[in-house]
Structure formats: C-alpha cells, structure tokens
Amino acid sequence: MTSPQPQAEPIAVLRRAGSSLLVDLAPSGGGLPEVLHWGADLGEIDADLGAQLRATAATGVPRSSFDAPRPFTVLPTQADGWSGTLGLSGHLAGTATTPRLALHGYSLDTAGAAHVLLLDLREPGGGLDVELRYALDPHGVLRASASVIAPPEGTGARYDLAALRLLLPLPARAAEVLDLTGAWARERAPQRRELLDGTLLRRSLRGRPGHDSPLLLVAGTHGFGFRSGEVWGVHVAWSGGAEYLVERLPERAGAHAAVLGGAEAVAPGEVRLAPGERYDSPDLVFCHSEAGLDGLSERLHGSLRARPEHPASPRPVVLNTWEAVYFDHDIDRLRALADRAARVGVGRFVLDDGWFRGRRDATAGLGDWRVDPVTWPDGLGPLAEHVTGLGMEFGLWVEPEMVNPDSDLARAHPDWLLHPPGAPGRAWRHQYVLDLGREDAWRYVHDALTALLDAYPISYLKWDHNRDLHEAVHASPSGPVPGVRRQTEALYALLGAVRARHPGVEIESCASGGARVDLGILRHTQRVWASDCNDPLERQTIQRWTGLLLPPELVGAHVGPPVAHSTGRAADLSFRLATALFGHPGIEWDITGCDETELAALTAWTALYRELRPLLHGGRTVRADETDPSAALHGVVARDGGHALFCLAQLDTSGAAQPGRTPLPGLDPDRRYRVRARTELGEPVRFGTADPAWLRPGAPEPVLTGRALGALGLPLPRLAPQQALLLEVRAAD
C-alpha cells in the first residue's frame, strides 16, 4: 500500500467542518497508532500541542492490571491489552488467533476535498496485512473502512475472518444511547437507554438491514435531543448482515470511556482468504455534532447531497398503482387512473406487481420476468405510451432477487435457489431467494431486466425484496458455503450493470417497505421506500426518524386512501397530504373514485409541492424538542436562512387546554421573519378552542426575529387529533 515513512507528522490530524480525528502515529509506548480524539474540532495542532496531547494521553495504572497504561489503538486487539470486542478476529487453520500488528507505513492527504489518512499495518515475518482508511469530508462526516490481506504463499492454509470492526472512542460525557427498531409497517421506532458497562450489540442476521435496523446508533450526553446535546453516531453502509455496537469496560478504553463502531456481520466460514487474497469491509459512516440530532442530520444530509450519484433532477410526484388496483390489471382501468394522475399533477406513473407471466396473486410468477400474454395481450406498450403521452414518466415494479416455486424459472432451475442442499426450507410470502452469486442466475436476471428496459420507455424501477435471507447457502464448486455476502455483492453488481446500460433509469430500494434502508444500497439507487404503511399517523414517526440519516428527497412518502391498508385507521385528507409533503411525495390510492373536492385538494397539494420543492429538498431538516407530547413539530429551513416551512402534526389529544407558545427552531437569530399559515391543503380541525389572535381572519402576519421565534415561538391552535398546521416563514428584511 505505502512505503514506510519518516515520522515527520507523529500525530495525524483530520479536520473539517468543526470535526476532527487525531491519531498518534508514534505513541510513546510503541505499538499500533492510537486514537487520541474523535469529535469536536480541537483547532490547529502544532508540534508542541501534539507533544502535550501525547504526554497527557496515558492513564494511570490500576491494581490488578497490566504494568503499563492500556492504549486505545486504531485496531484494538488483546496485544494492546484490550479486553473488549476485538477489532480483528479470525484464525489460520486454528492458529494466528492473536495477531501482533505494527505500523508499516502511512499517508496523510489534507489537500483534497476530503482529508484522508491511510494506515498500513503488518505482522512481522510476513503475516497478516491490514489497511485502514479514514476520510473526513467537507461536511464533517468521517467514512472509515478496512481491508485484511491474508499471509502470502507458503502458509498452505486459508485465513478465516470472523470480524473486522472499526471502532472509535467516546468520552465519559457520552452517557445515553439511542437506536431504532421496528417491524413491518412500523419501522424506525426510537429506543433509548443509559450507557452502562458492558456491550450493547445490535446485529442483523437477516441478509438485509431489516425492519428493525438500528439505522444510526447514537451515543450522547445526558438528555440530548434534536436541538441540544453532544452526540456521536455510526451507520454501517452495507445491505447484508451488519452489527452495531457501543461498549464500555471498567478499565475504560485508554484515556476514553467507551467505544462506538460496527462492521459487516460475517457468518462462520463466509470469508476464507487464500494466501494473498483480501477482504474489503463496507464503509462505516461516523458523525459527531455539538448541536444535537439535528446537527448530525445536517452533516449527513449535506454529505449525501454532495455525492455524484445523488439525484440531480427535481423529484416528480409519483403515483404507484399497488393500493389502487393490487393484482387487478385491467388496461382501461389503468388508463383512467393515469388520466386522473396527470390531471392532479403527477409526474411519474408506476405499474406495480401483477404485470408478469402467471401473476394473479403472490403465490406464482416471481422469476418469470416476461409480460403476461393473457392480462397484457399487446404487451405493456399501450399503457406506457398512454402514460408518456400524458407527459408522465413510466415506471415498473420488479422483485429480481426472488422466485416463487410456482414459476417457470423455479421448475427449470431448482438449483438456482439460495438454500442448503435438499429441500429449500421455510417459504416467506410464498417465495424463496434466487442465488445471484451464480453467474448463470445473475445473467438471467440481468438479461430479463435489460430486455424490458430495451422494449419499453421505462424510466423507473421499483425494486422490491420481500423476505429475509435465512439459511442463505451458495452452492460453490467446493461445496455449500454461506451466501449473504456473495448475494449482496452480486446485487450491487447487478444494479450497477443495469444502470450502466440504461443510465437514465432511476431505481427505488423497497424491501417489504423499509427493510433495506442503508447507504450501501443508496450508492446504486435513487430513493428508498420507508415503509409499506401509508397511515399518516404512523408515517409521522417513520419519516421523522428515517430523516435522522436521509434527506427527504431520498425517502418515498405517499398519500394513501382514506382508510389505511396496513392499519385500518381512517385519516383526514389534509393530514395525509401534509404528512406526505415532507419527503419524495406520491400517491398510493385509486383516485378514479375521488370526488371533485378530493381531486382539487390533490391538485393544490402537487402545486404546493412544486412551489416548495427547492426548499423541501435543499434545506436543513429541523425538529423541535419543546412541543406538547401529543404533537410533533418539524420543518425545513433554507440553507441561507431566508425561507422555512414548518408542520405541527397533532398525533393525539392534548392534556393542555391551550398549547401555549411553540418555538420554531433553526432560524437565523438576527433576522426578522414574517409568518403565515399555508391552508391550500385545507384548514385543520380545531379542538373546540378559539384561534390565537394572530391566526384569526384579517389579523396581520406577525414579524419576529429568529431568536424570538426559536426561544419563545408562537401560540398555536389546539388541533384535533390527526390534523396538521403548515406554517411558512420568510425573511422580512
């Protein structure tokens, strides 16, 4: 990787946007480089200050312990006196279980957009080689990854990797932990706990992140919230198995209190490296903020928006046909639906499940990616031409990684299923996983998809993935082996190959809703489906916490029918519209049955979205902590601070007779702002009280400073449950 370097820079410093990482390349006790600091920027580190940091890094030595202080290195192992979860774990035919690595070389580049530190760690005598990479981008987001290279020829054995983890230190003031959990149609449910001694390990062994994915594991100071507290977070940018951990030991981590990190979750025997072969970890995305969770989101959203693969074109309003027609594909009905969609301002019409051979329900047809000749005797061309003739894009649902036993593909190639030898095991939604790690199966799917894209004007694929990967076993020439990693890499290659041939096609990552939301899949897709639940009450929480990691333009948010498919709960149209506005909005509803009042509301909503789209998809996401527990306030503030839109969502009845003043966060404290209610989506229903004076008809719009709006706020009406009030704020100066 690099040649040995003279230690002219014994402390490597990465500094960007108020964050910093300090690594001691020549620690006084010898051994591997030590992490001196990760978090807030410490300013310029000159030689004298670096020497002082090194001198003060060593802790005392407690009784019943090693005779020298325990360091916290870039790759903690027992050779460093580390008693916690190991950075590197594996063996060479039962040997080489305790590697003793040393720094062989490094490079430090602080001239580019990202500041990058590369470390080459090697075992003396030709053992393991580990490369570590840290890149701190202009938004203060740190991406870390690692590679392990097996010993060269001569050992005669494969290196079995158990784990390669990236860990960074936390200070003692990190006292609480937040992560997310969930289930189908109820993803992104937050859970908090005190940071205590021991290991908090969140591991997904589902072959995908899962509905219960932690998404972002956050440690923070006592009582941290959206707008306050110091926080440290990590995300594993990988679409297969993953693990997240925070750990605190009684000995502490060198001069630090705890560690935060993660890794790909590697199955036993999944990574066996022949002499000289390498394993590359996924990126771990670390982020720190002194401004609470919104500060984390601001950094992460800015970093994601700066990617070359981030969607550049304005996000069109989508109509997806699933909850409108389900499997009932009738071309006249779909044409009528498209006509209504175009009328209300939809820009993308997506034909969901049910268009391919033998697909009358969920039990048959997966894998046979040919247009059904019975349902569609003239192919998809007539519908696609009708849609594009109305000025909309045409999209199509696919689930390429899955197969029904009742399909031509499964009958012709039962050996293409991803399962152990013998019976395929438990079905899930009447389907099994197609082994994309097989070249022939991969090629079949690739050719089937590109044939569809060649034949029809498809500009969008809704790419679904409706089951976990249990007993994921690949039939290799040497025998059955674990298949999740191979499947994940094959999926990435397939997505890349499809878009290389059709670069204008956008792809949505859907996985029974929100079970595959991660930054690994988003390197190859342009949107995620946050949940199969379109109930706006549930969606308020789902979208609020998905937005912790992702900016709203990457998150599909649809208006469902009056009674939600997933919960059976009825909701007012204005509340459904306001909820879906704060994402990449769409419609999941048979709007051919709408009356003129409903169609007018949908038309006003799409117009409002197009008006506010630059703000919604370019501003800073903000969320208030200081609201009544029965309500949630969130919004988007323009980067220049001149424009904002807030939504007060009333989730339940309030215990207060009057809400009092509600702060509007994130505005420039020194600017004056004019506030008005946007009522295009309808006036929200009040809960039996008169409006505050400033909201009454004929009252002048209030003009207040951002400091006053953030500290005091405005008195707001007492809304009925499942109602939303939109407030637009514009600079008055």
CATH code assigned at 145: 2.70.98.60
pLDDT at position 62 is 77
pLDDT at position 334 is 98
| pLDDT digits 0-9 by tens, 102-136 | 999 999 999 999 999 999 999 988 889 999 999 99
Residue 209's SS3 state is: coil
Q: Tell whether 184 and 147 lie within a shared domain.
A: yes
pLDDT band at 64 (very low <50, low <70, confident <90, very high): confident
The phi and psi torsions of 49 (rounded to 5 degrees) equal -65, -40
Q: Tell whether 301 and 360 lie within a shared domain.
A: no
Identify whether the C-beta of residue 131 lies closer than 8 Å to the C-beta of residue 190.
Answer: no
Euclidean distance between CA atoms 231 and 288, whole angstroms: 6
pLDDT at position 8 is 53
Residue 399 belongs to domain with CATH number:
3.20.20.70
- Who contacts 84 (Cβ-Cβ below 8 Å, separation ≥6)? 76, 199, 247, 249, 253, 259
Identify whether the C-beta of residue 14 lies closer than 8 Å to the C-beta of residue 142.
Answer: yes
Identify whether the C-beta of residue 555 lies closer than 8 Å to the C-beta of residue 543.
Answer: yes
- Check pLDDT > 60 for residue 411: yes
Q: Which amino acid does the sequence have at 548?
A: L
Q: Tell whether 478 and 432 lie within a shared domain.
A: yes
Average pLDDT estimate for 380-408: 98
Which residue among 305, 333, 368 closes a domain? 305
Q: Tell whether 608 and 718 lie within a shared domain.
A: no
Q: Where are the beta strands (DSSP E) in 328-392?
A: 348-351
Q: Tell whether 331 and 298 lie within a shared domain.
A: no
- Check pLDDT > 70 for residue 155: no
Average pLDDT estimate for 344-358: 98
Name the token pair of 29.
């006790």
Identify whether the C-beta of residue 462 lies closer than 8 Å to the C-beta of residue 398.
Answer: yes
Q: Tell whether 596 and 649 lie within a shared domain.
A: no
Closest by CA position to 288, among listed 18, 517, 73: 18
Q: Tell whether 247 and 219 lie within a shared domain.
A: yes
Euclidean distance between CA atoms 137 and 367, whole angstroms: 41
Does residue 507 sit within a domain?
yes
Q: Tell whether 347 and 251 lie within a shared domain.
A: no
| pLDDT digits 0-9 by tens, 663-695 | 999 999 999 999 999 999 999 999 877 899 999
Scanning the structure block, which residue is given the tokens 């410093």? 13
- Check pLDDT > 80 for residue 322: yes
| Residues 441-463 as b or e (16 or more Cβ within 10 Å = b) | bbebbbebbeebbeebebbbbbb
Does residue 198 sit within a domain?
yes
| pLDDT digits 0-9 by tens, 263-286 | 999 999 999 999 999 999 999 999
Q: Tell whether 630 and 603 lie within a shared domain.
A: no
- Check pLDDT > 60 for residue 372: yes
pLDDT band at 251 (very low <50, low <70, confident <90, very high): confident
Does residue 573 sit within a domain?
yes
**Which residues does the annotation mark as catalytic?**
464, 532
Does residue 558 sit within a domain?
yes
Q: Which residue range is the domain that position 630 belongs to?
A: 624-731
Q: Tell whether 516 and 447 lie within a shared domain.
A: yes
pLDDT at position 724 is 98
Strand partners, 633: 648
- On whether the pTM is more than 0.95, the answer is yes
Number of Cβ within 10 Å of residue 723's Cβ equals 24
Average pLDDT estimate for 509-516: 98
If one counts the domains in the chain, the total is 3
Give the Å distances, CA to CA, from 655 to 4, 322, 658, 722. 67, 39, 9, 15
Could you tell me whether strands 141-149 and 34-40 are parallel, antiparallel, or unpaired per DSSP bridges? unpaired
pLDDT at position 60 is 74
Identify whether the C-beta of residue 484 lies closer than 8 Å to the C-beta of residue 207.
Answer: yes
Q: Which amino acid does the sequence have at 315?
A: R
- Give the angle subtended at the CA of 37 by the CAs of 34 and 40, to the nearest 5°: 165
Helix 381-389 vs helix 331-344: crossing angle, to nearest 10:
20
- Check pLDDT > 70 for residue 473: yes
pLDDT at position 154 is 63
Q: Tell whether 130 and 253 lie within a shared domain.
A: yes
- Who contacts 134 (Cβ-Cβ below 8 Å, separation ≥6)? 14, 21, 23, 116, 117, 118, 142, 143, 144
Residue 281 CA from chain centroid, whole number: 18
Which residue among 264, 284, 305 closes a domain? 305
| pLDDT digits 0-9 by tens, 568-622 | 999 999 999 999 999 999 999 999 999 999 999 999 999 999 999 999 999 999 9
Q: Tell whether 421 and 484 lie within a shared domain.
A: yes
